[in-house]
Chain A
Amino acid sequence: MAGRLPRRILKETERLLNEPVPGIKALPDEQNARYFHVEVNGPKDSPFEGGCFKLELFLPEDYPMAAPKVRFVTRIYHPNIDKLGRICLDILKDKWSPALQIRTVLLSIQALLSAPNPDDPLANDVAELWKSDEVRAIETAKTWTRLYAFSEGVKS
């Protein structure tokens, strides 16, 4: 890894390991301290309940001035997450503030699973079904969760 790790990243990592967020696991990669292996449990009472979703999170060179790069690795049926796992979340884009943290980003992603927002979509066809036939969309999301995200989850 090029360059010394900023104190900020060390501190954040330390806190993520010592006081983990309930339902979220974030482990730095052994070879690259800017790369995190993340697992998020599907929130209770959401179509993603019972699933364990793998994500990757990378802190770019200019972090925290620039937002971390986050992507779902596990397939997920969600109007704000596309086929490649990219997430439509304002704080990862124009609403990023250098005072935000990895922890707040992951909490926001967890909240997005509880409250999908089909009016600000990234995956267009998913959002369309979500708006026209919510029951069927939720069924599909549940099916996908069973298909792709049922393995051993994070114990909270």
Chain B
Amino acid sequence: MKVVAKRPESLYDKKFHYCPGCTHGIIHRVIAECIDEMGLREKTIGVCPVGCGVLAYEYFNFDMLEAAHGRAPAIATGIKRMLPENFVFTYQGDGDLASIGMAEIVHASARGENITVIFINNTIYGMTGGQMAPTTLIGQVTTTSPYGRKPELAGYPVRMAELLATNEGSAYICRTSVHNPANVNKTKKAIKKAIQTQLEGKGFSMVEILSTCPTNWGMSPLKALERVEKEMIPYFPLGEFKVKE
């Protein structure tokens, strides 16, 4: 017998536009389940990035905004300061968060801004067709690192979870993955913990989620999941990096 999971209320009954095998969709669903289970749908305000998640507001069934590229944490800050009782989160890709929006994310964390960030790390710019991201691994071929990322030219991939964990304002920082069911479950637990952190007013929380981009990696969906395990996790270890009591 096949068990078909019920669609969470926080997700509209609508087909995702993401490519086959892309894990953006799974992550949307997990977020929606958490928000449902914690009874937050009506007090949630989400901020979309510029990136493949730019249309996330078409799928989430609660209040959403769309930010300029990289600026989502600043917008979330404005919202949260005006509405401290609401649950406010951003959904951002690695180009959005770790490149153009690096300033915004670091300062949101440093300020201990009481928002939650869901960070989709797929080591590439998905939406613009596969250019190098700050998280692109050494040797990884992209359209703007056609000979593989070389540290002499483009430096090293940033580890955002570790980096932000050093900020005093960060209250909960965790890295997870969604390449198999066990890790999807762990991701869900982490997101709940991040939300709880915000609800308790403890400060900045972020869950970095390793995600696939089969299209721009030039891989089948299955191979892409394998790459997460074999290549990404060794460089981006999973686990909690900051848990403020």
Chains A and B bind each other: no
B residues with a Cβ closer than 8 A to A are none
